[in-house]
């Protein structure tokens, strides 16, 4: 007998992973510890939404000393996900966990080249794109003024230069078409919030135009109603 008939369903219809305790199948609560402005939190949310998983979000600001005691992340970053008594941090681990633990559309391709390129996109973002695109260009141009701080123009200029190799490599992967091709994978979920923040800065938006395939991918997803939650919002709920 398969497990499917035994699975618990939450009110929203999301199927929860079953836990067998003395023969009883229990749905397990999903909690995302995140920060409303964090791109990494938005990545996890995009995957939760794609899979149709019901979750509760606990707000914790890793930049605010007042929140330090509240953040369960051992390195005081966001995000962390708990599912029942299982906890996982590091966004790529969280997104793979959600994709594997829950029903819903498969967000990992099956062809070897596509799997490799999905992982490559995620690594490029984490290691070479997040800092220049988000922490230098976006944070300085868009976020600092919301905190009544002057943007550091030198940091923005440096970020735009450092962003180039990462954008070039993402463009090349996009052009090859094995991922970022309309079939949503974990690569799309990792990339969309990052480019959304980068493009919230006028310089970022202009810089992206030099990468036609990536730019086209971004235009299609960022203008789609389904993905508006990934866009930067200066006044999130
Ligand atoms: N490697 C971590 C990176 C997460 C990360 O850097 N998150 C940012 C917010 S977008 C953060 O918590 N920053 C706090 C800090 O830099 O002190 C992951 O993949 O989850």
pLDDT of amino acid 135 = 98
Give the residue-averaged pLDDT of 61-85.
Answer: 94
Determine if ligand 1 sits within 6 Å of the CB of residue 38.
yes
Is the predicted pLDDT of residue 2 greater than 80, yes or no? no
Share of the chain above pLDDT 70, in %: 89
Give the residue-averaged pLDDT of 158-163.
Answer: 98
Q: Which of 33, 35, 59, 62 to mutate to test the pocket of ligand 1 (most atoms within 8 A of CB)?
A: 62
Residue 214: count of CB within 10 angstroms of its CB = 23
Stated pTM of the model: 0.89
Determine if ligand 1 sits within 6 Å of the CB of residue 78.
yes
Q: Beta partners for 82?
A: 31, 87
Distance from C-alpha of 10 to C-alpha of 84, rounded to nearest angstrom: 14
Cα–ligand 1 centroid distance for 173 (angstroms): 25
178 φ, ψ (degrees, to nearest 5): -80, -30
pLDDT of amino acid 33 = 97
Determine if ligand 1 sits within 6 Å of the CB of residue 90.
yes
pLDDT of amino acid 140 = 98
Whose CA is closest to atom 9 on ligand 1?
A: 38
* H helices, E strands: number in the chain: 8, 6
Q: Are 81 and 30 in contact (CB under 8 A)?
A: yes
Cα–ligand 1 centroid distance for 123 (angstroms): 14
């Amino acid at each position: 007998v398969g497990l499917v008939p035994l699975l618990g369903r939450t009110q929203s219809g999301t199927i929860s992973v079953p836990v067998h305790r003395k023969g009883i199948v229990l749905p397990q609560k999903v909690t995302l510890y995140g920060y409303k402005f964090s791109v990494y939190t938005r990545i996890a949310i995009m995957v939760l939404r794609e899979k149709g998983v019901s979750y509760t979000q606990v707000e914790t600001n890793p930049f605010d000393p007042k929140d330090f005691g509240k953040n369960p992340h051992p390195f005081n970053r966001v995000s962390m996900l708990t599912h029942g008594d299982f906890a996982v941090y590091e966004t790529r681990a969280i997104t793979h966990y959600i994709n594997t633990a829950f029903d819903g559309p498969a967000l990992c391709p099956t062809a070897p080249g596509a799997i490799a390129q999905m992982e490559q996109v995620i690594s490029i973002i984490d290691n070479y794109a997040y800092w220049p695109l988000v922490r230098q260009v976006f944070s300085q141009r868009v976020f600092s003024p919301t905190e009544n701080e002057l943007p550091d123009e030198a940091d923005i200029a440096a970020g735009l230069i450092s962003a180039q190799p990462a954008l070039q490599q993402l463009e090349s992967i996009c052009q090859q078409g094995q991922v970022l091709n309309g079939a949503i994978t974990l690569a799309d979920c990792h990339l969309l919030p990052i480019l959304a923040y980068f493009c919230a800065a006028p310089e970022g938006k202009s810089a992206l135009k030099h990468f036609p395939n990536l730019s086209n991918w971004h235009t299609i997803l960022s203008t789609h109603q389904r993905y508006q939650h990934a866009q930067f919002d200066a006044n999130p709920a």
